[in-house]
Amino acid sequence: MLPIAFASTDRSTVNQHFGAAAAFAILEVGTDSVRLREVAEFIETEMDGHEGKLDAKIALLEGCAAVYSCAVGASAVQRLIAKGIQPVKVDEGSSIDAIVAELQAELASGPGGWLAKALQRREKSDPGRFAAMADEGWEA
C-alpha cells in the first residue's frame, strides 16, 4: 500500500494549490484496495510568500509517495522531491476516485516512472522484506 496525498477540501476532488492547501486527504492505495489514512486541515492558507508555511505541509506528507494538487511552486517541488515525494499537478476538480483507479491500474499492469521508483524505495525501506523472503524458502 502506497500513501498518496491529495490537496482537497472535499475529499472527492483535487481542488487546492499545494502551498495554499487548506486540507489534505491521505489515502493508502494498493492494487485492489484503498483506505483513508488521514485527513489534515490547516488554518492559515493565505499565500504571503513565506516559505515557512510549507514546513508543516511537507512534514505531514513525510512517507507519502506523491501529492496531487492543482499547482505547486518551484521551491515546494524541490523540497518535496528531496523528501522522496512526487508532486503531481492535475486540473482543478479532478476526481480523486478516478486518479486512484488509474494508480491501481498502473500498479496491476506494472508501474513505470515515479510510481515504480516509489515502490522500489518502499521495498528498500521495508525492514521485514528479508524475513518475508526467508519464510518463502528456497526452491531450485
User: Cell triple for residue 61?
Assistant: 506528507
CATH (one of 3.40.190.10, 1.10.472.10, 3.30.420.130, 3.40.50.1370) for 2-136: 3.30.420.130
By the 8 A CB rule, do 80 and 72 touch?
yes
Q: Report the predicted TM-score, pTM, of the whole model to 2 decimal places.
A: 0.83
pLDDT the model gives residue 88: 97
Cα gap 84→66, rounded to integer Å: 8
| Residue 33 pLDDT | 95
Q: Extract the residue ranges of the chain whose pLDDT is less than 50.
A: 45, 50, 129, 133, 140
Residue 85 grid cell: 515525494
pLDDT for res 45: 45
Cβ count near 124 (within 10 Å)? 8
